[in-house]
A and B are shown apart, each in its own frame.
Chain A
């Protein structure tokens, strides 16, 4: 009978836990703040709440004597949160870099069913027709702001590697309008290339990754020698590219009059639907039209989902380890304080405040751990540069880890969830311990 009762209580706890965790995952920070306020009011205003507050104070004041085991909880949870936040920050940084490259008021036109720019080929006549569509902004000279571009790959020696260590970089052939389509790009050193010359503008990210891309130096791309004349900064995926005159690139890579894509600046985001409909209805064209925002978001989707999946799997496994670590420490703490808790209950404290006090103590430690882990992840990894071969591109994409407030908040939520589970079972045990047995125990 007793066993059955214990089992039912355990089962009830697990169900309660599952429901709480599910609600907790969905909770925005406002909800959490409201919970904290409600809880504080309960503690301040009701009799039970004041009891709970005083038991908690006793628990917290004895923390110092249990420094070793309390620090296990803090550091264990800091480890989980740190690793989780760092991995998610990697995915976030990657997709943010690609997302920033696009915007809602520029559109990219590629040949139909091409997964990415490098796979697309637009013949000369298409390149002429596309800028005539309505919805495109015209510049002061009355020319449509549309940039036909060519994308090829080139091998370059990697910085800090051996002579055989080459990496792939994306070389983009552009015309004058490329700057008008992307006003965010700034030349940070040197000058723009002169049209018709074998001159290169290199992105900051590319310069960081590959050797010999300094202003004035010569590099060999596509069997030809090029002069680096400038460095540009865009703060997005274009940073990892090399830019040159599209006619020169087309010549050297034998592309004739064809281009890979046409990027246009639209009058406003609402103009996109009409622009897309017009091009798709044109019988002379067989093209796919998307806003650059959609295009780049889609490119990052697979990889960032994968990184997120890895991060959450690793985080979950580590969290399970940390939960058992926390359970261990809190069971030990409850056992050490069994007499004290029994005394409290003997003089009239109810079970509820005892449960609340122990849970609060654990969650406080968990909160500390979460803050520590988040702070470590932020200090070490925010802005840390990494690079990978991006989907849909043919060059190494350099990106920065981005530890956002949203990620830190979800790290804290994980920490508190671990603390909640780790504290619940020891708390219930403490509250259910028969007073007489506990008092007799030495």
Chain B
């Protein structure tokens, strides 16, 4: 620590070079921060404590196959089940059939299964009392400038009403506020409608339910409850498949894309380039300071402390650039998410990303510093001073 000013002076000996290198490091870690945030958000999807309590039951045949609503009662009788709710895919689109919006027709207690989603008490009451009521996600409401009290015309891409058109009219009675941005992000983009009104108004549903969401009393019993739920309809024509919310989400993401692989290969390319670049800077820095290092050794610095100083310099360089880059990512991510109007739901950089990032900075710093540091340590004083 007492050599810090010396290391600092060495680092900023050539200001232009150090600053240019720092900006390169900064951009690398900016990218790391952003990509790692995306990766963890996919990893963490459904892994919240509330999510662990929830089971999703869908048709075993495929996700578009529906289940009868009559399963509600037998599921609620399974020991260990706290509450059952159900939902159906409404397939809503706003203004243009291609502008699809996540919209579910749900049972009255559906929202109770998600304690991480906040709906104010009077809005909740209004929702319960309005047949055509709709709860809309916070970001969705912002994006389309919807307010409580607005009429909401939606087109269903699947279900016609009794008059044969697919135009539906709802009343916005409340806003869904996810308390935990990373876990409840989906609700920002969601519209919840009444299943009862939906089922009454379309001739095509006839009591069908897309999936059940069940809360269990004890998380450790979740597997047993899931098996018991599936046993109810075993060998019927509507066999079910029950998974924890976490497993179901993980399965979806896996089908969507191998996020880990994509992020991993980009980061591999970035860090390889970064190592080469900062390694080159350190080599140059040590080469042009050869005589100074020799002077240090002459006045009594041991070879080890010269080694450590060069290593510390390179680690310090990586840390300054990297921390700035990660900080920038932390600031930028919510801004980017905000600017996209909720189209991109980017989570903030979390503590784990910071830990991983700082670990990477130290490791890369040591790696790129190693060669110059060893060279500095092995320096022969006489040769170096003579400029040989």
Contact = CB atoms under 8 A, between A and B. Distances in A.
User: Contact residue range for chain A?
Assistant: 35 or more
Contacts of A113: 93, 97, 155, 157, 166
Contact of A76 (B64, B91, B273): B273
Contacts, number: 141
A166 B24 contact: no
A302 B256 CA distance: 14
Contacts of B23: 320-321, 324
Contact of A321 (B16, B27, B256): B27
Contact of A388 (B24, B158, B237, B256): B256
B103 interface: no
B270 interface: yes
A328 interface: yes
Given A83-B269, A114-B158, A153-B64, A72 B280 contact: yes
Contact of B62 (A114, A153, A386): A153
B356 to A, nearest CB: 18
A259 B187 CA distance: 33
A84 B61 CA distance: 39
B133 to A, nearest CB: 23
Interface in B1-24: 16-17, 20-21, 23-24
Contact of A155 (B60, B252, B277): B60
Interface residues of B, number: 53
Contact of A154 (B21, B27, B62): B62
A166 B23 CA distance: 45
Given A115-B157, A318-B27, A68 B97 contact: no
A223 B239 contact: yes
B63 interface: yes
Interface in A61-115: 68-69, 71-72, 75-76, 79-80, 82-83, 86-87, 112-115
Contacts of B247: 164
Contact of B61 (A69, A221, A328, A396): A221
Contacts of B272: 75, 79
Given A115-B91, A321-B28, A386 B63 contact: no
A394 B276 contact: no
Contacts of B276: 71-72, 75-76
B100 interface: yes
Contacts of A76: 273, 276-277
Nearest to A171: B62
Interface string B236-273: 01010100000100011011111000000110011011
A327 B155 contact: no
Contact of A223 (B61, B266, B281): B61
Interface in B199-216: 204
B349 interface: no
Given A113-B157, A325-B24, A331-B17, A83 B64 contact: no
B149 interface: no
A314 to B, nearest CB: 6
A68 B280 contact: yes
A115 B100 contact: yes
A168 B255 contact: yes
Nearest to A327: B20
B20 A328 contact: yes
Contacts of A72: 276-277, 280
Interface string A355-397: 0000000000000000000000000000000111100001010
Given A79-B272, A114-B97, A152 B24 contact: no
Contact of A332 (B28, B251, B284): B284
B93 to A, nearest CB: 7
B61 A154 contact: yes
Nearest to A71: B276
A317 B30 contact: yes
B83 interface: no
A356 to B, nearest CB: 23
Contacts of B251: 165-166
A223 B158 contact: no
A266 interface: no
A167 interface: yes
A168 B98 contact: no
B114 to A, nearest CB: 24
Contact of B64 (A324, A387, A388, A394): A394
Contacts of B358: none
Interface string B96-138: 0110100000000000000000000000000000000000000
Interface in A124-178: 152-155, 164-168
Given A69-B280, A317-B27, A396-B255, A119 B62 contact: no
A166 B254 CA distance: 10
B300 interface: no
Contacts of B284: 69, 332
A155 B252 CA distance: 12
B273 A75 contact: yes
Contacts of A53: none
Nearest to B281: A328
Contact of B98 (A83, A298, A314): A298
A107 to B, nearest CB: 18
B57 to A, nearest CB: 14
Contact of A320 (B21, B27, B62, B255): B27
Nearest to A116: B157
B61 A82 contact: no
A221 B164 CA distance: 32
B87 to A, nearest CB: 17
A118 B64 contact: yes
A119 B24 contact: no
Interface in A305-354: 314, 317-318, 320-322, 324-325, 327-329, 331-332
Contacts of B91: 115, 119
Interface string A271-283: 0000000000000
B257 A386 contact: yes
Interface of B: 16-17, 20-21, 23-24, 27-28, 30-31, 34-35, 60-65, 91, 93, 97-98, 100, 155, 157-158, 164, 166, 204, 237, 239, 241, 247, 251-252, 254-258, 265-266, 269-270, 272-274, 276-277, 280-281, 283-284
17 contacts: A75-B276, A76-B273, A79-B269, A79-B273, A83-B265, A83-B266, A87-B266, A153-B63, A155-B61, A318-B269, A320-B23, A320-B27, A321-B274, A325-B24, A329-B280, A332-B17, A332-B284
Given A75-B272, A328-B281, 11 more contacts: A69-B284, A80-B273, A114-B158, A118-B64, A152-B64, A153-B62, A155-B62, A221-B61, A298-B98, A321-B24, A386-B257
- Top 6 closest pairs, chain A to chain B, by CB: A321-B27, A153-B62, A79-B273, A328-B20, A115-B157, A324-B23
Interface of A: 68-69, 71-72, 75-76, 79-80, 82-83, 86-87, 112-116, 118-119, 121, 152-155, 164-168, 221-223, 253, 286, 298, 314, 317-318, 320-322, 324-325, 327-329, 331-332, 386-389, 394, 396
